[in-house]
Amino acid sequence: MSTPTRRPLHYAFAAYAAVAALAFQTVPDPKYPLMQTIATGGYLVAAALLTVLALGGARRSLIGFHLGFLPVQFLFLFGGSEAPLPGMLFGALTVAVMRPRFPRLRRTPRRVWLTLHVGVSVGWLGLATAMSTLAIAGATADGHAVRHGAYVLMHVFDLAIVIPSVALAIITGLVVSLGTKWGLVKHWWVLLKFAISLVIPIIATVQSGWIEELEHRTLDPAGDPGGLGLVLVCCMLGYTALLWTAVVLSVVKPGGRTRWGRAGAPAGAPADRRAGGPARPPAPAGRRLS
């Protein structure tokens, strides 16, 4: 693909969006009919808009579209179809292939966006820890009130807080990475964090269904979570572990630059500088290096 806009990729995504819209219409008895309607209309609009942008060669608009559509597709998951999952991966890969360059954020906007990202991410980690505790309580409690109440609270947290937190964390993370020196695909730690942010919605979609099933299963005082309760515990602990991994990546920043980051480094920069490490200070005049 030699064109800067990578038109074939966008046409392929537009075709996928049209197929995804049809997939949502084939879902029988969705739990959230309104979200099914929104997802269907959203994918049809996306297919038309993407085709127009690709025909016009609007590279910046295409990049902005795919980045903005990532969290939107996450919300579409609650329309009852799994079609947004490959759509999110497709959109992320399309942006990576286009190698976008964005203007740096000025000092005040950068601090604002960074504060929002850190705050939302810390809240998300706290929610994951709380939901892990509730999952353990639901699977191990002897009393019906605690057992059923744990899953009811998990369901409320999931819909009212976790979903908006995931979307906001992805959006603010994209702005911070693309608006600073780190970029989205230049450094391994940023790329790994981005991959985690795409994996977690998949886990969230699966565990949401399990939470609803366990909530209904424990309505009866004699109802028992069974093996599904333990599976949910493992799922939530894995969810939390991924978020802690993202925290460690943010602090340690391992791995240096990726192939895309090295390609964009100045040709005359020292090797450790291109790898993201500190540059060696020049030796004083008249002093030989041993």
Q: Give one DSSP letter per residue of 89-105, joined into a string.
A: HHHHHHHHHH----PPP
Q: What is the per-residue burial (b if ≥16 Cβ within 10 Å, else e) of 62-101?
A: bbebbbebbbbbbbbbbbbbebbbebbbbbbebbbebbbe
Q: Are 157 and 130 in contact (CB under 8 A)?
A: yes
d(CA 18, CA 21): 5
CA distances, 249 to each of 6, 75, 116, 161, 253 (Å): 31, 26, 18, 24, 5
Q: Which helix (H) or strand (E) holds 16?
A: helix 7-25
> 198: exposed, middle or buried (C-beta count within 10 Å: 0-12, 13-18, 19+)?
middle
pTM of the shown model? 0.72
d(CA 240, CA 223): 27
The token pair that represents 83 in the structure block: 């079609």
Strand partners, 61: none
Amino acid letter, 181: K
The token pair that represents 73 in the structure block: 């597709």
Nearest to 167 by CA among 210, 123, 134: 123
User: What pLDDT, on the 0 to 100 scale, is given for residue 287?
Assistant: 44
Residue with tokens 């790898």: 275
Q: Are 150 and 141 in contact (CB under 8 A)?
A: yes
Q: CA dihedral defined by 16, 17, 19, 20, rounded to 10 degrees?
A: 120
Q: Which helix (H) or strand (E) holds 225?
A: none
Per residue of the chain (290 residues), what is the pLDDT tens digit? Answer: 444 578 889 999 999 999 999 999 998 888 788 889 999 999 999 999 999 999 988 888 898 899 889 888 888 887 888 888 889 888 888 887 887 777 888 999 999 999 999 999 999 999 999 999 999 999 999 888 999 999 999 988 887 888 888 888 888 888 888 888 888 778 899 989 988 988 887 788 788 889 989 999 999 888 889 899 999 999 999 999 999 999 999 999 988 888 777 765 655 554 444 444 444 444 454 444 33
